[in-house]
């Protein structure tokens, strides 16, 4: 499956259309030079449009290509795109704090409040990260979850290697997209995999957390 499908009838949140996101003029060399890991954020929330922009830049689907593949805004081995984007949202205008998942083909947000209750799960999620402060202050923490069969089906065991390479492509796009918003971002590799998997209801074998990153507004 090219995307983990929500149960029929599940409530979803429509994001601003990718085609309607504003163009942003950037000096690319300056963007690359200024890219840095930022671990402290203000209380200013992202707008829903800004969140949509970050999601589109990191996992937006430009075109499905059949046999479960897709062309997106990042490269992926064999165009397999094995990731689901889970979101730990604390400060986004119009959204209740909680856990969400990005439905990339439809450019929608899926609230996970019923599966992952906020009050019961927030502390466990924060505790799983070595750099807890960055997650606690973030407007949004992205967690990329590998649906590894999408890669193993084509590449066999070598698909595990490609999953880690692909995660780097996605996170670098988040850095550059955040910098273009004058926001901050920090990649998170030091976390307790089993605990994050438990909070997100992942089995740790067929689907597992592979990488994460915080993002938020800076002063």
pLDDT tens-digit map of 6-20: 888 889 999 998 778
Q: What is the mean predicted confidence (pLDDT) over 72-89?
A: 96
Mention every residue, 6+ apart, whose C-beta is less than 8 A from residue 5: none
Give me the chain's average pLDDT, please: 95
Domain ranges of the chain: 26-217
Region 149-172 average pLDDT: 96
Query: Which one has a higher pLDDT value, 25 or 192?
Result: 192
Q: What number is the average pLDDT over the span 83-91?
A: 98
| Residue 208 scores a pLDDT above 90 | yes
- pTM of this prediction? 0.96
The CA–CA distances, whole Å, from 205 to 25, 40, 115, 208, 219 equal 42, 33, 19, 6, 40
Domain 26-217: give its CATH code.
3.40.109.10
Q: Over range 38-58, report the average pLDDT.
A: 97
Q: Residues 147-169: what's their mean pLDDT? A: 96
């Amino acid at each position: 499956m090219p995307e983990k499908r929500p149960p029929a009838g599940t409530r979803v949140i429509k994001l601003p259309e990718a085609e309607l996101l504003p163009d942003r003029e950037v000096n690319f060399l300056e963007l690359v030079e200024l890219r840095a890991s930022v671990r402290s954020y203000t209380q200013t929330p992202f707008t829903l449009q800004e969140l949509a922009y970050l999601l589109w830049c990191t996992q937006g689907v430009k075109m499905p290509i059949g046999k479960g593949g897709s062309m997106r805004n990042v490269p992926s081995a064999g165009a397999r795109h094995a990731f689901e984007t889970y979101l730990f949202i604390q400060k986004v205008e119009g959204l209740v704090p909680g856990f969400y998942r990005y439905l990339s083909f439809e450019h929608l947000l899926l609230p996970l409040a019923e599966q992952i209750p906020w009050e019961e799960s927030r502390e466990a999620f924060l505790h799983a990260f070595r750099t807890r402060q960055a997650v606690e202050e973030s407007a949004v923490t992205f967690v990329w979850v590998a649906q590894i069969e999408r890669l193993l089906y084509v590449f066999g065991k070598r698909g595990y290697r490609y999953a880690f390479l692909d995660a780097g492509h996605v996170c670098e796009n988040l850095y550059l997209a955040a910098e273009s918003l004058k926001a901050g971002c920090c990649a998170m590799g030091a976390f307790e995999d089993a605990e994050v998997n438990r909070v997100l209801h992942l089995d740790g074998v067929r689907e597992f957390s592979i990488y994460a990153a915080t993002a938020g507004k800076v002063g």
